[in-house]
Amino acid sequence: MVTSLKGRHCLTLTEFSREELLFILETSFSLKQRYLAGERIIPLLPGRHLAMIFEKPSTRTRVSFETAMRELGGDAIYLSASELQLARGESIEDTARTLSRYVDGIMARVYEHWKLEKLAQYSRVPVINGLSDLHHPCQALADVLTIIEKKGRDIESLKIVFVGDGGDNVLHSLMLAIGILGGKITISSPPGYDPHPSVLKLFNEHASGSFEIERDPYKAVENADVVYTDVWVSMGQERERERRIRDLEPYRVTVNLMNRAKKDAIFMHCLPAKRGEEVVDEVIDGKWSVVWDQAENRKHAQKALLALIIP
């Protein structure tokens, strides 16, 4: 039985047990239903403040966190990295010490994951990973919420397939979430694009589920319940663009690929999408796509996380 998650950080999702992840998801469902029933303000965090540090630009992360905090009765403060003293050489340690005297939680969207670890080490308040080069745990919470909504709660029985770059931060967090919940994920990527060794270590230490790597995308998605992809060139990888597109072109999600999955399969993408590269219009706009529900669920999943971990 889960008693309290107050004060927890959320950097990778491995901070939570299976029971705790399920508790966060159940809270997400409850808060979403209350929102859809007309409760636009549920004052679970009255007077609380969330500092949001952005090294990378954002649409979904910023808007979903801001609206989530306000709908919980709190407030969110947007802080671009260029506006902070970090841009003038103040250390992450001192930034964490200072901000955590002012606010009740810190969300940071950064290039390097070690910066989040440093923030958490020196912060008095919970630190949430809004995205790093290695992990995107809040996206994974929304993803699992969406999968359960569309395919039911028996994660262990589903065939979930990620097609594309296996070293992707979204895939890293998704595989950890599915693994902690006891499910299995198939990763279809070319050689040289496998999950990061540090993520494999976390998976082996915390997951009761499993994963497999299948190089052939058409074989990988055979009878799949869920097909997921992400962009091939993330922020910070622009210099690798030509090589990455060449290597990943066989892994584009097309109508022919989706036709190998189950008839009622769903297509997922964390967005933003580079249409015509990792996925074609006919798929992202087609009968399989749940990407807009998935994007909406960012707010509901994060609302639950915020309500549960901020003291």
**Rounded Cα distance, 167 and 171, in Å:** 7
Residue of 294, 298, 300, 302 marked active site: 298
**Rounded Cα distance, 289 and 140, in Å:** 17
Residue of 104, 139, 196, 225 marked active site: 139
**Rounded Cα distance, 104 and 127, in Å:** 9
111-117's contacts with Cβ under 8 Å and 24+ in sequence apart are 111/55, 111/56, 111/235, 111/236, 113/11, 115/55, 116/11, 117/11
Q: Are strands 184-188 and 127-131 parallel, antiparallel or unpaired?
A: unpaired
Residue of 143, 165, 168, 230 marked active site: 230
Is residue 230 part of the annotated active site? The answer reads: yes
List the structure tokens of 156.
């262990």
CB 165 within 8 A of CB 187: no
Q: What are the strands of the beta sheet with 210-213, ordered from one edge?
A: 210-213, 184-188, 160-163, 226-229, 266-269
Residue of 136, 244, 252, 300 marked active site: 136
Residue of 10, 133, 269, 270 marked active site: 270
Q: Residue 43: what are its φ and ψ, rounded to 5°?
A: -75, 70
Is residue 298 part of the annotated active site? The answer reads: yes
**Rounded Cα distance, 234 and 231, in Å:** 6
CB 169 within 8 A of CB 131: yes
Q: Report which secondary-structure segment, H or E, holds 211.
A: strand 210-213
Kindly list the catalytic residues.
109, 136, 139, 230, 270, 298
